[in-house]
Structure 1
Amino acid sequence: MRPATALGPDAPLPALPDLSAPAAAHPPSGHPGAAAWATALPVLLPVLACAVVYLVAARRAAAGPRGWSRLRTASWLTGCAALAAAVSPPGHALLPAGATGHMVQHLVLGMFAPLALVLAAPVTLLLRTAPVPYRRRAARLLRSPLPHVLGHPVTAAALNAGGLLLVMLTPLYAATLTSPVLHHAVHLHYLAAGYLFAWAVAGPDPAPRRPGTAVRVAALVGAAAVHAWLAKHLYAHAPALPPGAGADAADLRRAAQVMYYGGDLAELLLATALFAAWYRRRGRLAPPAGAPDPSRPPRAGTRLRAAGRAVR
């Protein structure tokens, strides 16, 4: 854990957030009205649909000979619940007002929820339970060049950290405060880039030609360094950054602290998932009875070809 003085050696301790202060970046607290629910429903309904579809598929997989892990199902539902809480009006009402609450929302959408969704192994569940034509298409897609390029840890880290730099160091953040469409588009980018990065670094699903652990660790360390630098930069230059936001300097410094320490926690969880998977692959954990030798894991391409043969 980094010392609190890392954000400013002479900075005073921040005051408690003023929950009564309104801010454009965050809806005011209170009972959500019909307008707030109408804005949130287009986002909440797809999240609910994803949760239901996964539950149906998990139940089908659990009835098969290999079964399905309840922990993976719980991880998926946790990720969906986090997404719903981050975008729902009741969730907004519980967050601090201003940039601080907005930063909490961004951390949930871009780091914590994607990791929970990735650890649920939805692609593996798809390859087990979808109709045969869809399984074949999914296997061909995973072997195509696009997932190989986008799923590389360095590419995923660049998309994840680069998007954050673009939002926080340009007038884009201020524009999201007045444009609901742009606001949702930025949130969608956070979710997609966060999911792609977590999948590239520590995803349990099969991936085409996935790099070794050393490359994934390097990508994680690089992304964490950019994240920490941006948080300290925002803290040191509040309220000039983000440009045009017009928020209170104390509120922006609290948001930078949330970004700094919240990012630390999310990256620690991602590193734990990465090394836990490495530990299992190296055979240092006792495998279940009847499982193949984990000291010689099959390559991703081998697993995909085996999945293709199974569905023919």
Structure 2
Amino acid sequence: MSDDMHHPTHGAGMGGGLWETLLPAAAVVLLAAAYLLLAARARRRNPAQGWARRRTASFLTGCALIAVALLPPLAPFAHGDFRGHMAQHMLLGMYAPLALVLGAPVSLLLRTLPAARARAVTAVLHSRPARVCAHPVTALILSTGTLAVLYFTPLYNATLEQPVLHWLMHVHFLLSGCLFAWVIAGPDPAPARPGVPARLVVLGVAVAAHATISQLLYGGFLLDVHAPAAQVRGGAEIMYYGGDIAELLLAAALVATWRPARDRRRRPRSTHRPTAVRVGAVQDH
């Protein structure tokens, strides 16, 4: 990193191709439409219970944040400026995932699927691979630990030249962010989710790790990013302050789920147990 080093341009077709606008836009529209369709189906099947509008609003907000990250004007800016890249990272890896997860898409899916298919989804959620992936430490490594690999190895520079790596990076940001938000504060059922104190500890580690990586970026230590120093420092500031805000929102979401869980434990247990499909279903009132 140096002040006179130019940011490398992306590979052929990146940043200017029409498909790079149409495909993300189409994917976001399809994602939002699928959720709205399932929400409408849930209301038709059970008008009394319905589906909370706040969850729909949250999920659609997440879709809108994905669109902001992947469409103009931010996307072209991110192709040539590290600060734009970091803004994309914040939106795709932290803000959009939290909004999507708070929409409780898995619970919505379970409500609308036939019973046999819903049981199959529940079985997948409780499988051994799902338990490993849904462990808070695994989610922390995938969402935060991989940032060190991205910025302190040649990987980031490779994403600037290889369109496939570039889009895989975006997909990783989004999926790993959703995994972490789901494990820490998601209203959807999660296998072997630890108690709130343990999740708060993991969240605290994530805060410390984000702060450390952003400070190393700002100081240029261990860094392997081909970008002007001013851009890298600006990106580090975005990561530091933007990450703090996102993690505060995640902590607020976690605390908001604490009391309902405690209240449910205080209620007398019914002798009739619901089926596995209903285990962990969110409450909409």
Assess same fold via TM > 0.5: yes
Partner in structure 1 of residue 278 of structure 2:
307
Does the alignment pair 1:116 with 2:99?
yes
* Higher RCO (C-alpha under 8 Å, 6+ residues apart): 2
- Deviating more after overlay: 103-112 vs 43-52: 43-52
1:232 pairs with one of 215, 230, 240: 215
2:26 aligned with 1:55? no
Distance 1:269 1:96, change over 3 A: farther
Q: How many Å separate the matches in 1 of 2:143 and 2:268?
A: 29
- 1:269 matches 2:249: yes
The separation in 1 between residues aligned to 2:170 and 2:21, in whole angstroms, is 13
Query: Residue 161 of structure 2: SS of its match in structure 1?
Result: coil
Q: Does 1:186 pair with 2:157?
A: no
Is 1:200 aligned to 2:200, yes or no? no
Aligned to 1:4: none
Q: For the Cα contact (< 8 Å) 2:59–2:102, is it kept in 1?
A: yes
* Aligned match of 2:122: 139
Structure 2 contact 10–163 (Cα < 8 Å) conserved: no
Deviates more, 1:89-98 or 1:208-217: 89-98
Match of 1:102 in 2: 85
For 1:26 and 1:79, how far apart are their aligned partners in 2?
27
Letter in 1 for 2:129: L
In structure 2, stretches of 5+ residues that fail to align are: 1-5, 280-285
Q: Give 1:158's aligned residue.
A: 141
Separation in 1, partners of 2:232, 2:274 = 47
Q: Assess if the C-alpha contact under 8 Å between 2:83 and 2:235 holds in 1.
A: yes
Distance 1:171-1:306 versus aligned 2 partners, 3 A rule? closer
CA apart distance, 1:131 = 2.7
* Residue 266 of structure 1: how far off its partner (Å): 0.4
Say which of 18, 22, 33 aligns to 1:37: 18
User: TM-score scaled by structure 1?
Assistant: 0.79
1:128-182 CA-to-partner distances (Å, cap 9, x unmatched) read 0123332121111112111111111111111111211110110100111111110
Number of corresponding residues: 268
Counting aligned pairs with the same residue, the percent is 46
What is the distance in 1 between the residues matched to 2:96 and 2:9?
21
Cα gap change, 1:96 to 1:176, in 2 (>3 Å): closer
Q: Which residue type is aligned with residue 60 of structure 1?
A: R
TM-score of the superposed pair, with normalisation by structure 2: 0.86
Q: Which residue of 2 aligns with 1:5?
A: none
Assess, with a 3 A threshold, how the Cα gap between structure 1 residues 224 and 60 changes in structure 2: closer, same or farther: same
> How far apart are the structure 1 equivalents of 2:141 and 2:15?
39
What is the CA–CA distance in structure 2 between the aligned matches of 1:224 and 1:154, rounded to whole Å?
Answer: 14
